[in-house]
Amino acid sequence: MWSASIKLVYIIELTVPWESSVEEAYERKRLRYTELVADVQQQGWRAKVRPVEVGCRGFVATSTFRLLREMGVQGKAH
């Protein structure tokens, strides 16, 4: 996702790991985009890498909730 008006790009990648390897999956995905982020920043943009994990058996990692909160998504309406 991106906004040309504020020159911000979100790099979001979903990973579906085993629950026991959620943290390793997060780091691996975050590091994968290091070079791309540097390229984007050289062009005058800000880049936010946001790996999100949902375990293969349905566990939703905190990274997913953090991303949703950061983007203004709140809990279900009452």
Per-residue model confidence as pLDDT tens digits over 21-70: 878 888 888 889 999 999 999 999 999 999 888 888 888 888 888 888 98
Where in the sequence is the domain holding 31, given as residue range(s)?
A: 2-70
Q: Pairing between strand 46-53 and 8-15?
A: parallel
Residue 35 lies in a domain: yes
Q: Is position 75 within any domain?
A: no
What is the b/e burial string over 34-73, where b = at least 16 CB atoms within 10 angstroms of the residue's CB?
eeebeebeeeebebebbbbbbbeeeeebebbeebeeeeee
CA-CA distance, 46 to 68, in Å (whole number)? 19
In this prediction the pTM is 0.75
Residue 32 lies in a domain: yes
Considering the domain boundaries, does residue 78 fall inside one? no
Q: Which residue has the higher pLDDT, 25 or 78?
A: 25
Residue 78 has a pLDDT of 56
**How many structural domains does the chain have?**
1
In a domain, 77, yes or no: no
